[in-house]
Amino acid sequence: MWFKSRSSALGDFEQLVLFGVLRLGAEAYGAAIRQEIHARSGRDVSINAVYTTLERLEDKGLLRSWIGEPTAQRGGRRRKGYALTPAGTAALRQAYHALRAMADGLEGRLNPR
């Protein structure tokens, strides 16, 4: 709470958000990312947690954003879409590789026998 790491290593929730953006492609925006994370990881996070992370990732230069057109389903509000920057793709790739390398061959031991 008092000490937040400034290092460029991605936190696990940041990774989930980046994967969500990557998976959703052109449809990557707050609500969709939230639902994607909920559906795939089972984590029912609040929308503001998603936005906090999105903003932080954008600050770090890992995401870029654009603002879309207002729609009726949103009560006439606009939506903000996100996409990975090259740096974002690189950071996610690095995190994924690191995780996969560390997990290599251990999968069987994580599952209950």
Partner 1 sequence: MSSQPPRLAVRLLSWRLPDACREFILGDLEEEFLLRAARSKPAARRWFWRQTLRSIARPPATRPSSEARTPGDPFMRTVLSDVRHALRVFVRTPSYAFAVAAVLALGIGANTAIFSIVNAVLLRPLPFEQPDRMVRLFHIPPQATFPGMATFSLSPANFLDWQHDSTSFDGMAAYSFRQLTLTSGSAEALRVAVVGPDFFRVVRTQPALGRTFLPEEHDPARSKVLVVSDGFWRSHMGAAPDAAGRTLTFDGETYTVVGVMPKQFSGNAWGATMVPMWAPLAWTAKERAVRENHNYQAIARLKDGVDLGHAKSELEVISKRLEQAYPSENAGWGGTAIPLQELIVGDVRGSLLLLLAAVALVLLIACANVANLILARAMNRRKEIAIRAALGAGRRRVFQHLLTESVVLAMAGGAAGVLLAKIAINAGTAMLSNQIPRAEEASIDARVLLFVLGASLLTGVLAGIVPALRAGRTDLNDTLKEGGRSDTAGAGGLTRRALIVAEVALSLVLLMGAGVMLRSLHALRTVDAGFNATNILKLDVNAPDARYKEPAQKTTFYVSLLDRLRALPGVESAGWVDTLPVTGGGSVQPLVIEGSAERKPSEQPTVSVRVASEHYLKTMQIPIVRGRDFERGDGDAMLVSASAAKLLWGTTDPIGRRATLPLISRTNAIPVLGIVGDVKEALAEKAPPTVYLHSRELVFGDVSVALRTSGDPTVVSKAAVAAVHDLDAQIAVQGVHTMSDVIEEQLIAERFRTLLLEVFAAAALVLASVGIYSVLSYLVRGRRREIGIRTALGAQTADVVRLVVVEGLKPALLGIAVGVAGALAAATLLETLVFGVKASDPLTLSVVAGGLLIVSVAASLLPAWRAARVDPLTVLREN
Name which of 32, 35, 37 is nearest 17 in CA terms: 37
* Residue 9 is a binding residue for partner 1 (CB under 8 A): no
The continuous run of DSSP H or E covering 22 comes out as: helix 12-24
Residue 84, CB-side half-sphere exposure with 13 Å CA sphere = 20
- Rounded CA separation 95/75 (Å): 38
Binding string to partner 1 for residues 27 to 66, with x set by CB under 8 A, is what? --xxx--xx----------xxxx-xx--xx--x-------
The encoded tokens of residue 1 equal 């709470």
27 vs 97 by CB, closer to partner 1: 27
Binding string to partner 1 for residues 77 to 96, with x set by CB under 8 A, is what? xxxx----------------
* CB-CB neighbours of 15 under 10 Å: 15
31 vs 98 by CB, closer to partner 1: 31
Q: For binding to partner 1 (CB under 8 A), which residues are involved?
A: 4, 29-31, 34-35, 46-49, 51-52, 55-56, 59, 71, 73-75, 77-80
